[in-house]
């Protein structure tokens, strides 16, 4: 299989799949991006050895041998049975990628988008194979929060849908069939309004992000507050989602950009977001 995009979640999908015994090509657009991917994979080895039962003793490290890194899209998908797309949450970028893939991938290849908010119907006409196209959405930290939401369109072949359910199980996920199209699927239909509400409180000057997190953790017993979740997800993805929303959503996108993104505060991946993750001097 091939995973397109080596960001936070794309690298996790590729690594979890390789850890489960599958050969994976991990694609991104440049050698610079692949350098960052190597760093993410090395970090995942350490995370799995610490947090995943059975991963110690070399099993996690061995998963790296099943991953091939490539910046050549044609080579990456040349013999793929399944392509999972995990590129930035921008409709035009995804549509252009699928239009290219339609000519490069073999007829047998199933395409699956990991889009967190876009409907597969927004993309299916670009794929050249709407019967073999659907959404397969993972949660961040997939070795721990191991749901995989499977959602097709009215043109998705039911047999393809069933194959993706089987694949999700084979890589240690809990498949969640979504029976008709819903922007945000199940997880993000719950999560995105929650994060937006927190951002509205902070951007509006009602409370500090850290205090908003305290309220949520103390009052609900949740392990993380919304701004801690932002840092785990990375601020770029919610920024892109907000940027394509209504006027209020765009104002929240501007707040994220001006106060955090423009300063390089993108979340855990960069060492700082709403919180600092840099080692103390």
Q: Which residues neighbour 160 within 8 Å (Cβ) at sequence distance 6 or greater?
A: 110, 131, 132, 134, 152
Distances (CA, A) of 164 to 151, 157, 193, 232: 10, 11, 28, 26
- Residue 188 host element (H or E): helix 187-203
DSSP, collapsed to helix, strand or coil, labels residue 9 as helix
Q: How many CB atoms lie within 10 A of CB 74?
A: 12
Tracing tokens 């998963």 back to the chain, one arrives at 63
240 is catalytic: no
Closest CA to 175 of 183, 185, 167, 184: 167
Residues paired with 174 in a beta bridge: 147
Report how far residue 147's alpha carbon sits from residue 17's, in angstroms, rounded to the nearest whole number. Answer: 14
CA distances from 43 to 15, 17, 63, 110 (A): 11, 16, 13, 29
Active site residue 276: no
Give backbone dihedrals phi and psi of 149, rounded to 5 degrees, phi first: -85, 125
Active site annotation includes 179: no
Catalytic site residue 244? Answer: no
Catalytic residue (one of 116, 196, 200, 240):
116
Cβ(18)–Cβ(41) below 8 Å: no
Q: Which residues are catalytic?
A: 116, 137, 149, 188
């Amino acid at each position: 299989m091939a995973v397109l995009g080596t960001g936070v979640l794309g690298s996790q999908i590729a690594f979890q799949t390789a850890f489960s015994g599958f050969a994976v090509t991990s694609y991104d657009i440049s050698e610079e991006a692949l350098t960052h991917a190597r760093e993410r994979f090395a970090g995942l080895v350490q995370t799995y050895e610490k947090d995943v039962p059975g991963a110690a003793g070399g099993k996690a490290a061995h998963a790296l041998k099943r991953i091939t890194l490539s910046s050549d899209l044609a080579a990456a998908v040349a013999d793929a049975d399944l392509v999972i797309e995990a590129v930035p949450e921008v409709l035009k970028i995804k549509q252009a990628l699928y239009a290219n893939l339609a000519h490069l991938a073999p007829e047998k290849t199933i395409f699956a988008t990991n889009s967190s908010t876009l409907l597969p119907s927004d993309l299916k006409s670009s794929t050249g194979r709407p019967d073999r196209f659907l959404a397969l959405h993972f949660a961040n930290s997939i070795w721990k929060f191991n749901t995989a939401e499977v959602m097709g369109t009215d043109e998705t072949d039911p047999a393809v849908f069933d194959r993706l359910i089987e694949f999700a199980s084979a890589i240690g996920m809990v498949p969640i069939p979504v029976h008709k199209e819903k922007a945000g699927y199940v997880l993000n239909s719950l999560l995105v309004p929650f994060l937006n509400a927190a951002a509205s409180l902070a951007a509006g000057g009602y409370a500090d992000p850290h205090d908003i997190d305290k309220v949520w953790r103390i009052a609900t017993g949740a392990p993380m507050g919304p701004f801690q979740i932002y840092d785990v997800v990375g601020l770029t993805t919610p920024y892109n989602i907000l940027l394509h929303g209504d006027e209020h959503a765009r104002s929240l996108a501007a707040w994220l950009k001006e106060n955090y993104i423009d300063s390089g505060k993108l979340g855990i991946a960069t060492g700082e977001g709403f919180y600092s993750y840099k080692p103390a001097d």
